[in-house]
Amino acid sequence: MKTSTLLLIAFFSTTIFAQKKSIAITSFETSASIPSEYKKAIQNKVIEAFNFTNRYNIVDRTNYEKIIAEKELQKSEDFIDGKTVEQNNFEGAEQIVTGAISQVNIVKKYTETSYYYDCSISFSLQVIDVSSGQILASEIIKPKQSFMGGVLSSSLGGSSTPDKAFHNSLKGTQKAINKFVGKHFPVITLIIEISEVSGNKAKKLLLNTGNSQGAKKNQKFKVLELVNMTVGDKQIIRKKVIGEIKITKVEGEEISEAKVTKGGDAILSKFNANAKIECLSKI
């Protein structure tokens, strides 16, 4: 099996060589004017997006907050000699996902013959590295809405109450949440072998990803070549896209079949030349 000794994995990436990683999702910040049930629903929508990938264990928020409080206490009392809370006390979580809900605004709107409720939701998501406290990513999440969409929803009974308006708007955030997870927590995996060749092009291959990493039929990956470069006195790695592939069949926990959709000649030549290659899931 071909391996890469220079596989570069960011703190927020998932690698195929480990079991499920742990993610700590904290209680979202919000104002007192936003009902607690709405806050919980938004948090759960984010948790669902991570659970759907089948690649993460979610650290219990209550346990996480107790650990944070203990760490702060230990700092204030200047604990030493190994008595501090270690990172593995976070149940292995390397990243924290936190959020701040800035808006849940529900208004009653009127048409010529009826009325409907319209809801505007806005919240931010951040990814924080547990060990350093560094913010790795931050984005604002909003649903896509339109006036005509609201009118149509009302005519179908979808926004006839404030609660229905909220939940309809929350559904509209799903795509943005999924995009956030896919962008900042991608799957990084390797090509096991090229299983079918036509002329000088790779047509089919086996990937080292499967059910245990949430692999799905039609899931797409970019194929990247990792090239060492020297810039001044530093060594850096350039990641160059050489092709694209798509899973056609998930064979088990760690193996999937994929077909090459782009760059079959480059993938074949680089693979045969033992170039350093990795596959990165596309959003």
DSSP 196-208: EEETTEEEEEEES
> pLDDT for 58-102, tens place per residue?
886 655 555 566 556 555 554 444 444 444 445 567 889 999 999
Confidence label for 103 from pLDDT (cuts 50, 70 and 90): very high
With a cut of 90, say whether residue 4 has pLDDT above it.
no
With a cut of 90, say whether residue 19 has pLDDT above it.
no
E-strand spans in 111-255?
115-129, 135-141, 187-189, 191-198, 201-207, 220-231, 234-250
Token output for 111: 């048409």
**pTM for the whole thing?**
0.75
Confidence label for 11 from pLDDT (cuts 50, 70 and 90): very low
What pLDDT score was predicted for residue 145? 58
E-strand spans in the chain?
14-15, 21-25, 56-59, 95-110, 115-129, 135-141, 187-189, 191-198, 201-207, 220-231, 234-250, 256-262, 277-281
**How many angstroms separate the CA atoms of 224 and 275, rounded?**
10
Tell me which of 133 and 251 has the higher pLDDT.
251
> pLDDT for 147-156, tens place per residue?
545 555 544 4
The answer to whether the beta carbons of residues 250 and 216 sit under 8 Å apart is yes
**How confident is the model over 183-206, as a mean pLDDT?**
96
CA torsion through residues 122, 127, 130, 136, sign: negative
Domain 17-184 of CATH type 1.10.730: no
With a cut of 50, say whether residue 12 has pLDDT above it.
no
**How many angstroms separate the CA atoms of 264 and 43, rounded?**
42
Q: Any idea which fold 186-281 has? A: Thrombin, subunit H (2.40.10)
The answer to whether the beta carbons of residues 32 and 103 sit under 8 Å apart is no
The residues spanned by each domain of the chain are 17-184, 186-281
Of 190, 205, 198, 193, the C-alpha closest to 259 is 205
Tell me which of 148 and 213 has the higher pLDDT.
213
What pLDDT score was predicted for residue 67? 57
Tell me which of 147 and 141 has the higher pLDDT.
141
**How confident is the model over 27-36, as a mean pLDDT?**
92
> pLDDT for 239-263, tens place per residue?
999 999 999 999 989 999 999 999 9
Confidence label for 144 from pLDDT (cuts 50, 70 and 90): confident
What pLDDT score was predicted for residue 273? 96
The three-class DSSP label of residue 138 is strand
The answer to whether the beta carbons of residues 278 and 4 sit under 8 Å apart is yes
